[in-house]
Structure 1
Amino acid sequence: MKPTGIVRKVDELGRVVLPIEIRRTLGIDVKDSLEIFVDDGMIILRKYEPADIFTGDLEDLIEFKGHKVSKKNIKEMAAQAGLKIAD
């Protein structure tokens, strides 16, 4: 991790303000969603990016009935179902 030297207080509602410099650097815009992780006493925020519902892959996704699925997994499912698909 890289220290920034920035310190912020938590308000009465549990909110913390992320400085504009950090938001710009990380490409976080107003209304963007953030994922929250906890690891070894640390809180980690990451810009939320929808991923494949089966494997978490982030590449080559399509949307199907409101869910993201990678083309790789679609091909694997088709093969498992005994279907042949062209690339």
Structure 2
Amino acid sequence: MISTGIIRSIDSLGRVVLPKELRRTFEITTDTPLEIMTEGDAILLRKYRPADACVLCGQVSPGSVQLYGKTVCPACQRALAEKEQG
């Protein structure tokens, strides 16, 4: 884990503000779901991604395939095939 050196307080409603630099770096918007986990005495946040979401676009689609342990949706499969041909 890497320390950012940024310190934030929790408000009376239990909220904490993620600094703009981190939101921009990790492409977190107001619509981005975050998963909250714990590890020992640490609280971890990460962008939520369903287990069967495409590793390239993040969409969950029927017809997705597993490639080297990663899920790839049909649209991304087509895009990869077109890129290979072109």
TM bucket, shorter chain:
0.5 to 0.7
TM-score scaled by length of structure 2: 0.62
* 1:63 pairs with one of 41, 61, 64: 61
Query: Aligned-pair distance for 1:71?
Result: 2.2
Structure 2 CA distance, aligned partners of 1:51 and 1:7?
A: 31
Query: Aligned-pair distance for 1:59?
Result: 3.9
- Give the RMSD, CA atoms, in angstroms: 2.2
Do structure 1's residue 36 and structure 2's residue 36 form an aligned pair? yes
Structure 2: which amino acid aligns with 1:14?
G
- Contact between 1:37 and 1:45, CA under 8 Å: does it hold in 2? yes
TM-score scaled by length of structure 1: 0.61
- Contact between 2:54 and 2:60, CA under 8 Å: does it hold in 1? no
User: Percentage identity across aligned positions?
Assistant: 47
Aligned residue number for residue 50 of structure 1: 50
Paired residue total: 64
Aligned residue number for residue 75 of structure 2: none
> What are the ranges of 5 or more consecutive residues in structure 2 without an aligned counterpart?
67-86
> What are the ranges of 5 or more consecutive residues in structure 1 without an aligned counterpart?
73-87
Structure 2 CA distance, aligned partners of 1:59 and 1:43?
A: 25
Q: Which has the larger radius of gyration?
A: 1
Do structure 1's residue 9 and structure 2's residue 9 form an aligned pair? yes
